[in-house]
A and B are shown apart, each in its own frame.
Chain A
Amino acid sequence: GNSVTQMEGPVTLSEEAFLTINCTYTATGYPSLFWYVQYPGEGLQLLLKATKADDKGSNKGFEATYRKETTSFHLEKGSVQVSDSAVYFCALSGGYQKVTFGIGTKLQVIP
């Protein structure tokens, strides 16, 4: 079956540091890939997505590239802010109704 692997963290960074959160996946076919973000006390919200190989999703300074050859969709940001502190979920949609989420990576950004 489909699966998504990401580290749980927490990942602690200083403000303005470079961020990478790794995400690898296992899936049949050609899934769509997503990053969601969850702020404390809230539900998940879409951060970015990519629907085919070599697509790059981007939003709010975050980027991720769909790499089919390495089955990866790593999240990056060049300069994090305290307001980016949240939990980040990688997810794949491999067909009708079949969305698989990773366990979520907690990011803490300190001033």
Chain B
Amino acid sequence: NAGVTQTPKFQVLKTGQSMTLQCAQDMNHNSMYWYRQDPGMGLRLIYYSASEGTTDKGEVPNGYNVSRLNKREFSLRLESAAPSQTSVYFCASSDSLGGNSNQPQHFGDGTRLSIL
């Protein structure tokens, strides 16, 4: 079972470059999320999509955009990368139809992004 697949696994960018992080899940989950993980900060929510066709800001959305392409795919775009966006990015999904908070999130293995 693939679960949640993220591409690429590693990326190095120069300041000002743009790129899109891809995420796909094969569990037919309604909700998808993008987090960043930084030392001493835990996971911080960037954007989420409660269902196909909707997206909402999380805790740290500045400098990012997202697209929920279909039920399976949720991409994260950095339009003009900055060194402060150096981080490990995780995509997750959950079966949260109807606002059920009992269901866990399923995570991909992350994208390690360095911005010089």
Contact = CB atoms under 8 A, between A and B. Distances in A.
Given A89-B43, A104-B42, A97 B102 contact: no
A64 to B, nearest CB: 14
B87 to A, nearest CB: 14
B101 interface: yes
Given A97-B48, A97-B50, A104-B42, A43 B108 contact: yes
Contacts of B48: 97
Interface of B: 4, 31, 33, 40-43, 45, 48, 50, 56, 90, 92, 96, 99, 101-102, 104-110
Given A32-B102, A46-B104, A49-B102, 19 more contacts: A32-B101, A43-B108, A43-B110, A44-B105, A45-B106, A46-B106, A49-B104, A51-B102, A89-B42, A89-B43, A95-B101, A96-B50, A97-B31, A97-B56, A97-B96, A98-B101, A99-B33, A103-B40, A103-B41
